[in-house]
Chains A and B, each alone.
Chain A
Amino acid sequence: MGVDTFMIRAEGLVKRYKEVEALSGLDLAVPEGTVLALLGPNGAGKTTAVRCLTTLLRPDAGRAEINGIDVLGDPQAVRRNIGLSGQYAAVDEHLTGFENLTMVGRLYGFGKQRARERARQLLERFDLADAGDRPSKTYSGGMRRRLDLAGALVAEPPVLILDEPTTGLDPRSRQQMWDVIRELVAGGSTLLLTTQYLEEADRLADDIVVIDHGRAIARGTADQLKAQTGGERVEVVVGSVDDVDRVRSIVAAVAHGEVGVDERTVLAAVDGGPASLARVLEELQREQIHVLDIGLRRPTLDDVFLTLTGRSAEEQSSTTTEEVA
């Protein structure tokens, strides 16, 4: 497999909604058999990008290709190459899981028999066999999301595009979804997923593109990104405000970059997490400072944003309009 075979490719995608520019020249390239995570807060343009790539939305400028096929030029051919699973599960609530999947199969042009077999197979695989004959409105959020993903896989497309596959799921459902996604990648699928969680991107993706205001503001592997944003953080919560200054200087000794202070919390990015934590603990004990909580924390999307843009992801989302669904 050459590095040049990009299954998903976008160049200069622009999409405007009245005054808001949801995408302002987004470039993406996903090599065959790899996973790209599009990481960003609400309103960053993730869903708009997904909709442009999956023929649901016409970009105002720029071009996109799936498996070498132009999205605007031959949308029907693109649709044969993609499976889409959205943030809002695209299932019919009155239909059973089985009926939903059979319908999708028939719409791909499968015969009745083949559509039914495939539906049963997918229900089995996604742990929905028992619920397969119940209307999907009786399903839990996680089950509905799995059914939606199953719908995207009916025709075994080479490219999968998942828009926030785990947003709103409980930890167990999220773990299940991660397992499924890993299996798909092991099976050779090329995958683009959007997420608000750095942890999710870290676990699933080969490459990460951080998106803000419809534009990529950073890209690289999870490790590169973490290095750029300072990796793990040591967080100390002290019992008394009087101790904050002393703790700050202790943490500063191992910190990588600035030390943040918020009331009684002292926070800083560190290299070599556990060793730094041990040193901080040792110093705290020696100076007999009373600590309420101490720990190592992985950087979150918020930390990435703070480092890259100087403001937190939350501030970010409140200043832009809600992402257009």
Chain B
Amino acid sequence: MALPHALTDGWVVAQRNLIKIKRVPEVLVFVLISPIMFVLLFAYVFGGAIDVPGNVDYKEFLVGGIFAQTVVFGATFTGAGLAEDMQKGIIDRFRSLPMSPAAVLVGRTTSDVVYNVLSLIIMALTGLIVGWRVREGVLDMLAGFALLLVFAYAISWVMAWVGLLVPSVEVINNASFIVIMPLTFVSNAFVPTESFGGVLRTFVEWNPVSTLTQACRELFGNTNPAVPTSDAWSMQNPVVYTLGWIVLILLVFVPLSVRQYRLSTSK
């Protein structure tokens, strides 16, 4: 009873958020420009300085990492959107209605999937322009994009929780960077796993952003199968391992965020 209610009400709220994208398209422009900038920056500025084992071109290596990094960064948008919602009068309307208490969160995380779909399309096009190629089948490619979107959806629930904890929209960017920066930079997104040593390397190998990146590279055919990247189980089975993280994150952060929504609105 509670779940379908959360989904139908959540969809109504998501539609409201999507109308805002239509009315204020300027927001979209900035969300979509930053991934382009990242692709160009890494491809041309760092591209020459980083060696990838197995004779893989850095630009091919890079795009999977940029995809992963961008969808994780994109989750900040969810946190900011929610933090903004919480300060608006409309929340009082929502809270005085007999609607599902999860609806505002379900709606926000759902409408943000649209941002991620758009930014993946933009990035893929930019990637193709700078020399990235998909070398596996269409189904594998679609599986890669689907995995990115589902992972992004899970992370957006983490950021939803952060967005409810912080007192204002201004704090959200800094608060989320504390989590997102280490996750994306201490990973194989921009440099090969082999370039890390010791404890850091173990972190990289088991970091879900690394395995997501690895899964994308394999599904898009951007790795050299003759040269295995790492023998850690997580890196050998990146799709399964990443899916495990997705389930875990959702199991923890969906209830946590709904609880926080209730708490922060009934002070």
Q: How many residues of B contact A (CB 8 A)?
A: 25
Given contacts A94-B19, A107-B9, A56 and B266 within 8 Å (CB-CB) = yes
Distance of A118 Cα from B12 Cα, bound (Å): 16
- A91: chain B residues at CB < 8 Å are 89-90, 93
CB contact between A76 and one of B24, B89, B91, B98 (< 8 Å): that residue? B98
CB contact between A107 and one of B12, B24, B91, B265 (< 8 Å): that residue? B12
- A57: chain B residues at CB < 8 Å are 266-267
Report if A301 contacts B (CB, 8 A).
Answer: no
Which single residue of chain B is at the shortest CB-CB distance from A58? B266
Distance of A80 Cα from B93 Cα, bound (Å): 13
Report if A231 contacts B (CB, 8 A).
Answer: no
Distance of A57 Cα from B266 Cα, bound (Å): 5
Distance of A82 Cα from B95 Cα, bound (Å): 12
187-243 of chain B: CB within 8 A of chain A:
none
CB contact between B97 and one of A77, A108, A148 (< 8 Å): that residue? A108
Distance of A99 Cα from B93 Cα, bound (Å): 14
Q: Are A94 and B24 in contact (CB under 8 A)?
A: yes
Q: Is the interface of B mostly helix, strand, loop or mixed?
A: helix
Interface string of B3-24 (1 = CB under 8 A from A): 0000001001101100110011
Report if A103 contacts B (CB, 8 A).
Answer: yes
Report if A92 contacts B (CB, 8 A).
Answer: yes
CB contact between A54 and one of B13, B94, B96 (< 8 Å): that residue? B96
Report if B181 contacts A (CB, 8 A).
Answer: no
- B91: chain A residues at CB < 8 Å are 90
Distance of A94 Cα from B88 Cα, bound (Å): 12
Report if B103 contacts A (CB, 8 A).
Answer: yes
**Which of B23, B91, B92, B99 is the most central at the interface, judged by chain A CB atoms within 10 Å of its CB?**
B92
- A135: chain B residues at CB < 8 Å are 23
Distance of A95 Cα from B20 Cα, bound (Å): 7
Distance of A148 Cα from B15 Cα, bound (Å): 20
- B16: chain A residues at CB < 8 Å are 92, 95, 99, 103
Which single residue of chain B is at the shortest CB-CB distance from A51? B92
- B9: chain A residues at CB < 8 Å are 106-107
Q: For chain A, give the interface size range.
A: 20 to 34
Given contacts A79-B98, A107-B9, A151 and B23 within 8 Å (CB-CB) = no
Which single residue of chain A is at the shortest CB-CB distance from B103? A107
- B97: chain A residues at CB < 8 Å are 79, 104, 107-108
62-95 of chain A: CB within 8 A of chain B:
76-77, 79-80, 82-84, 86, 88-92, 94-95
Q: Are A151 and B19 in contact (CB under 8 A)?
A: no
CB contact between A82 and one of B23, B88, B96 (< 8 Å): that residue? B96
- B92: chain A residues at CB < 8 Å are 56, 84, 86, 88, 90
Distance of A224 Cα from B51 Cα, bound (Å): 88
1-54 of chain B: CB within 8 A of chain A:
9, 12-13, 15-16, 19-20, 23-24
Report if A55 contacts B (CB, 8 A).
Answer: yes
Distance of A135 Cα from B23 Cα, bound (Å): 9
Which single residue of chain B is at the shortest CB-CB distance from A80? B98
CB A287 to nearest CB in B, in angstroms, measures: 57
7 closest cross-chain pairs (CB), A and B: A90-B93, A79-B98, A90-B89, A84-B96, A107-B99, A88-B89, A94-B20
List, sorted by A's number, 28 A–B pairs whose CB atoms are closer than 8 Å.
Answer: A54-B96, A55-B96, A56-B92, A56-B96, A56-B265, A57-B267, A58-B266, A76-B98, A79-B97, A84-B93, A88-B92, A90-B89, A90-B96, A94-B19, A94-B20, A94-B23, A94-B24, A99-B16, A103-B15, A103-B16, A104-B93, A106-B9, A107-B12, A107-B94, A107-B99, A108-B97, A108-B98, A135-B23
